Amino acid sequence: EVQLAESGGGAVQPGGSLRLSCVASGFPLSDNVMGWFRQAPGKEREGVATIGRVYGTRYADSVKGRFTISKDNGKTTLYLQMDSLKPEDTAMYYCAAALDYEGPPTLARGEYNYWGQGTQVTVSS
């Protein structure tokens, strides 16, 4: 059974940092494109960062230079390091797996067929 479990969210002041983790089970993390998405109240879910099979990455323009996606295949864990956080980063963050997708890293939500339950990130002073 495929499972994705996020953790690491919380409340932080503007300029602060958080690291999100996503433990994956039921499939080989190394063989699949993985992504982080977020959804703020009243907004659509949007792609934040994605990592491919051979560590290629892509980022949304809004987070470039501030967020870093990485993975530890041995620990079957996906990470999102978030620095210089802004109030507009406030959202529920989701880990996702594109298990039927064969292309390069993508932020296209429709390519992802497995999702975690999400972890809340709140950036406020």
pLDDT at 76: 93
Residue 63 has pLDDT above 80, yes or no: yes
Pairing of strands 33-39, 46-51: antiparallel
Quote the CA–CA distance of 47 and 51 in Å, as a whole number: 12
Q: Which of 84, 85, 95, 86 is nearest to 119 (CA)?
A: 95
Residue 55 has pLDDT above 80, yes or no: no
pLDDT in tens, 29-41: 889 999 999 999 9
Amino acid letter, 68: T
pLDDT confidence tier of residue 53, bands split at 50, 70 and 90: confident
pLDDT in tens, 4-29: 999 999 999 999 999 999 999 999 98
pLDDT at 6: 97
Mean pLDDT of 60-83: 95
pLDDT at 79: 98
Quote the CA–CA distance of 9 and 3 in Å, as a whole number: 18
